[in-house]
Each structure stands twice: as structure tokens, then as C-alpha cells.
Amino acid sequence: MPDYPHPLIAKEGWPFIAISFALALGATLLFAPAVAFIFGVIFIFVLQFFRDPPRRIAGTDAYDVVAPADGRVIAIEECEDNYLQRRALKVSVFMNVFNVHSNRSPIDGEVKQVWYNPGQFVNAALAKASTANERCAIHLKSATADGQDVTCIQVAGLVARRILNYMEPGMTLTRGQRYGFIRFGSRVDVYLPLDAEVRVSIGEKVYASSTLLAQLAKNPHA
């Protein structure tokens, strides 16, 4: 599958990049080199945070599930999916401030519902962040013949203060398509049917779109 359309620098970062560049330029013109250096480092940090590089999209099958975010796998467990009121298999990806923070659809499917929940901003690496923190969830009905359900949840982190989600019910997404962004550290939880086969392990580093996260069962009711 070809690269998805990408801006190289995420549009969500343009105001922050402009402000940090103006501060760095002003510090260079008006202050001592040490001060200018500090503001220059801040500008470089902001620029790298909002990078959005092209990616190959993993998988060739409608049952393939790709990573929705860059980061490290911190949880693979059976738990309650409170959005769809079911037992599910949860795979969580933690993003630190040095990861790319664009979020991509894990599957081909239709957005059935979107939920936003205000909440706290505890460390996103902690288990309780999934239910305590500010979060935005989407229910995706897979494009497979059996229409399996996948819930994908953006979770704010300790310093994250803005979840951006551009989806509305009735929209369709293709695997690896960009659908949102979280500013400054966070996690994404994916809830899969219990019979899905997870293809990653705890501690593994994954890349949005490019890492095969799991596969949905092809005969879930057989």
C-alpha cells in the first residue's frame, strides 16, 4: 500500500513552531548567546515534536490491525471495554514527548460513534490513565464481511492538554489513515475482540501504520 498523504510537519504544530521560532529569533537578536541557545533548543524540540513523516502501511488484509501511534507497548490484557459493554483484548501504546504524535486508524472501517470524556492528567504510562484521564474514543466497525468491532481511544498524559480528533459518526477510515493528534505525551488504547491475535509484545517499540499490531479472527463465530 502506498504512503498516506502527509504534511511532514503536522498542521497542529504550526502556531507552536511559529511562536518558538519568533522567540528564538528575538533572543538571538536581543540577548546573550546563552539565552539564545536555550530558546533555540526549545524551537528544535517543538519542531521535532510536530514532525509527521511518511510511513508505509503494514498489512495486506482487511483483518489486519496496525499500530495507531508511535511508541512502546505497555499493556496487552483482557479487560472491560466500557464503551461497547463487552470483554475485550486491550493493547496500549505509550507515546513519550520524542515520539511522533499523529494518530492513525488501526483498521479499515466505519466510525459508528465518538465519545469524549473529560478527566485527569496523570502519567499516561499508568494503568489507571485509561479510565481516569481525559480521553476520546471512537467505535470502528471493520470493513470485513463479519463487521467486527474495534474501539480506539486517545488518552491524554501528564503534560498533554489537548486531544484532537477529527472523526464523526458515519465517516469511513482506511487502515493507517490519519484521524487525530495528541499534544505533548500520551497513549492510545485499542480494544479488540477476544479472539484477535496480537502480533506485538510488552515493551516492543511500534510505529503508527507501519507495525502490524494484531489480526482479527477470520472466522470469529465458527
- Residues 94, 99, 103: CA angle, nearest 5 degrees: 70
Q: What is the pLDDT of residue 212?
A: 97
> Given 20, 92, 105, 186, which residue is catalytic?
186
pTM, entire model: 0.85
For 12-52, the pLDDT digits (tens) are: 888 889 999 999 999 999 898 899 999 999 999 989 888 88
**What would the DSSP string read from start to end of 61-74?**
STTEEE-SSSEEEE
3-state DSSP assignment of residue 172: strand
pLDDT at 190: 97
State the chain's mean pLDDT as an integer: 88
For position 54, what pLDDT does the model report? 83
Dihedral sign (CA 20, 24, 26, 31): positive
Q: Is 186 a catalytic residue?
A: yes
How far, in Å, are 88, 91, 115, 152, 207 from residue 167 at the CA level?
A: 22, 21, 10, 12, 21
